Amino acid sequence: MMLFSRLHQRRMSFLIFVLVSLAIAAFFMLRALNENLLFYFTPSDIVAGKAPLNHLFRAGGMVENGSIKRSGLTVQFRITDLHQKITVIYTGLLPDLFREGQGVIVHGKTDKTGVFTAEEVLAKHDEKYTPPDVAHTLRDQQRLQQDHP
């Protein structure tokens, strides 16, 4: 009877060890996944306060005409989804396709003042690319113009 008790205790100890190990592994995997997720927000979402402050995310829109200001490697510009606009500050070399009126995706953080500090700027890669929300808004505006010339 004593032998059965020891065997039972070993099995229970092993089972508890496996369960605790799985729980710890799951915790670290979920934590790493959460840290690596990049959320996408439009300028309207950011102005409405839906984007996290001081946390990395992506924002997309069209570069507003006349908004690009350069100072050395630092560039300030505004992106818009045709409803709202946000100011973006980026230090570094911009992609060759970056220009006013073109779609961009920026990766960075927003501060309390609403200024987006970009770590990366991605410009559209062909004539068909536009951020989805901006493309939807542009289509709606074109329909309105056709209905009311």
Give the architecture (CATH level 2) of 40-147: Beta Barrel (2.40)
The pTM for the full model equals 0.64
Question: Strands 116-123 and 103-110, how do they pair?
Answer: antiparallel
pLDDT tens figures, 111-141 = 888 899 999 999 875 545 555 666 666 666 6
pLDDT at 121: 94
Asked if pLDDT for residue 97 goes beyond 80, the answer is: yes
Euclidean distance between CA atoms 19 and 22, whole angstroms: 5
Percent of residues in the chain assigned helix, strand, coil, to nearest 5: 40, 30, 35
Which is more confident, 2 or 90? 90
Residue 146 banded pLDDT, cuts 50, 70, 90: low
